[in-house]
Amino acid sequence: MDASAIRANITGALRNGVGAPVILVLILSLVIVPMPPMALDLFFTFNIAISLSVLMVVIYSPRPMDFSAFPSVLLITTLFRLGLNIASTRVILLEGQNGTQAAGKVIDAFGDFVIGGNYAVGIIIFSILVIINFMVVTKGAGRVSEVTARFTLDAMPGKQMAIDADLNAGMLTQEEARERREEVVSEADFYGSMDGASKFVRGDAVAGIIILFLNLIGGLIIGVGQHDLTFAVAVEYYTLLTIGDGLVAQIPSLLLSVAAAIMVTRVSKQGDMGGQVVAQISRDPRALGVTAGVIGAMGLAPGMPVLPFFFLAGLAGFAAFKAVKKQQIQASTDLAALPQGEEAVSPEMRELSWDDVPPVDIVGLEVGYRLIPLVDKNQGGQLMQRIKGVRKKISQEVGFLIQPVHIRDNLDLSPNAYRITILGVPSGEAEIYPDKELAINPGRVFGDLQGVKTIDPAFGLEATWIPADQRDHAQTLGYTVVDPSTVIATHLSQLIQSHAHELLGHEEVQQLLDMLSKSAPKLVENLTPGILPIGTVLKVLQNLLEEEVPIRDMRSIAETMAELGTKSQDPGVLTEGVRVTLGRSIIQNIYGMAPELSVVTLEPNLEQILHQSLQAGGEDGGGIEPGLAERLLTSLQQTAEQQEIAGDVTVLLVTTQVRRWLARFVKHTAHQIHVLAYNEIPESKKIKVVANIGQ
């Protein structure tokens, strides 16, 4: 069987889940079965190779989580190395009287070549390796693992809330949000496992010291007492064998300890460690230039070796020069990428045209000059992509395509401010800090944060602008932490949703009808312009959106309008009829899958008075007594507040005749109140009256 076939068999065994049991059986055999020196050479070489492979994988992994099996690998390699120590100890104690090659050529090479055959030097080198491994690398890595695991676990709730905030803002799909949640859980599991795995590495270092003394003392006793060696010969043989065995075990142990330390000190960003280090060190050429100057000056000091200092100063200076040239090339490339303008023409010489009358932006975003990097992809800005996600999410929710957001800078704004316009009218603005992150108080936190106090522009919650390095600490305290791009995207999402009815126009309605005609051509042909003009259809759809009723089910909406349009073309009447058809969807959006609906009702006398007043004064409510309207509003607000404290939504159930006026009446109250008609409730739902409001 050739090497390729053997490699294929090994790879197939690992993929089939046989690899781990085979390795565990191999470790057990090392402990129980005596190994010949040739087998020890093979296993020691394999131990060094696997340690180097693990170290290289750690260095070149883009993120720590890309090598999530590392804790298990660390445990298995540690057990394998301890099994090798037991096997080599057995051979040293049984065959050590035959000379320094009794335990194989690898141990002999480490005892002869690495330490020059001088066991005193070997003991010192071994002691240094153990001190470095045990006191520096392993101890530091263990402490970092412990702290990282604790803070990762504490920050999990805040990270989950941040994912939910991104999902609600439309920057994540359901699939992406699920993957992010799984990644947060996996990250906590990984660092928790690393905390435990670092204890194995530390224990391995301690075991190496103990095994060294046991081999040395046991070898001297066996060599002198059983094999009649002189004390000097026994010391030479067993000391060199023991030191060689210790070195050949400690070097792979040190490599794995370094790998563990690198893994737990890595920042969770894309890119291998070498690329991150080079990119960050060479980011500012001044640092390399100053280093070159200082090293060169030190080489001129009396007694200093000139050649190494000048050589390193030259390398640092050359690296600084290359970094400067790279920045200049990048700057010239960016400049060349800018669009070339046409020949300038004096404004006084150019005739006016319709181009001088700019159209009104359907949805606009104006930013101060310090916020421009947030929308510039060349500077790493993510806002454009997030706004695209907001548009996609809202379009799927409301049922029509939201117009693109026109983004431009506005020097009239303060440098850190932004403004959102709907149909050219400013609808929201706020000031943010692009170099900080916003920690939002969701209602229950476990401490205060130092930073700039503010109010979340989207939902009016208390918030604090904090440095980015305090993100994990804030999430540990229960805050929802979002970056500046998310703040703008969430605010934009909230405003678009509340103004969706204004964004729907004739063009959008025609697109909806064209799409519906592909599956129901006869329905669209009969509806418009045969039964209803497109303007009436538009008004009905706007009424639905104004009351936060999605228009995704365009087929049901069109069928209802086609049926009722032969009797009335009043948009208000048609809207109420469509709401009855969409009753199940409306109830689903408010209550979810709850079988019982908790509602608030009006006393029959009060409802009759409202009905008569609306008939007398029109649908604008002009015939309703102001005092009665004020008492009704106060009672509704008090009831809504009680429902909110109890964690329930507030739904006012009334007759069809007064529903529309009451919906407009309570629209801008402090507490959200849904107003439904009796005939909008599906027959499968049970109703529970929690409050009855009278005069």
Q: Which amino acid is at 476?
A: T
Q: How far is CA 504 from CA 423, 424, 581, in A?
A: 11, 15, 21
- Specify whether 575 is located in the same domain as 602: no
Whether pTM exceeds 0.75: no
More confident residue, 479 or 376: 479
Highest mean pLDDT among 211-225, 428-442, 623-637: 428-442
**Domain CATH for 528:** 1.10.8.540
**Residue 413 identity:** L
- Would 6 be classed as within a structural domain? no
Q: What percentage of the chain reaches a pLDDT higher than 70?
A: 80
In a domain, 597, yes or no: yes
Query: Do 457 and 470 share a domain, yes or no?
Result: yes
553 and 440, same structural domain?
Answer: no
Tell me the pLDDT tens digit for each residue of 299-311.
Answer: 777 777 777 777 8
- Mark whether 421 and 522 lie in a shared domain: no
Phi, then psi, of 101 in degrees rounded to 5? -95, 10
CATH number at residue 468: 3.40.30.60
Among the residue ranges 346-350, 453-457, 587-591, the one predicted with the least confidence is: 346-350
Inside any domain, residue 73:
yes
Section 452-457 average pLDDT: 91
- Report whether pLDDT(360) > 80: yes
Question: Beta partners for 467?
Answer: 436
CA 561/CA 127 separation, integer angstroms? 89
Is 613 found in the same domain as 484?
Answer: no
Per-residue pLDDT averaged across 658-668, rounded? 86
Tell me what pLDDT residue 336 has: 54
Q: What pLDDT sits at residue 182?
A: 78
Amino acid 365: pLDDT: 92
Residue 2 included in any domain: no
Residues 249 and 144 in one domain: yes
Q: Above 60 in pLDDT, residue 449?
A: yes
Does pLDDT of 286 surpass 50? yes
Question: Is pLDDT larger for residue 51 or for residue 200?
Answer: 51
Asked whether the beta carbons of 480 and 162 are under 8 A apart, the reply is yes
Is 36 found in the same domain as 118?
yes
Task: Please state, in angstroms and as integers, the Cα–Cα distance from residue 508 to each residue in 70, 399, 403, 446, 511, following that order.
Answer: 54, 10, 9, 48, 5
pLDDT tens digits for 474-517? 988 889 999 999 999 999 999 999 999 999 999 999 999 999 99
Does any domain span residue 8? no
- The average pLDDT across 421-446 equals 89
Are residue 508 and residue 642 in the same domain, yes or no?
no
> What average pLDDT does range 463-483 have in this prediction?
90
Give the model's pLDDT for residue 154.
66
Q: Is residue 13 part of a domain?
A: no
116, part of any domain: yes
**One domain for residues 453 and 402:** yes
* Centroid of chain to Cα 37: 52
123 vs 120: CA distance, rounded Å:
5
Domain boundary among 278, 307, 331: 278
Say how many domains are in the chain: 5
- Domain limits at 607? 592-695
Mean pLDDT, residues 523-548? 90
Residues 96 and 35 in one domain: yes
Same domain for 235 and 155, yes or no, is: yes
- pLDDT exceeds cutoff 90 at 658: no
* Domain membership flag for residue 334: no
Residues 473, 512, single domain; the answer is: no
Torsion angle of alpha carbons 240, 246, 248, 252, nearest 10°? -160
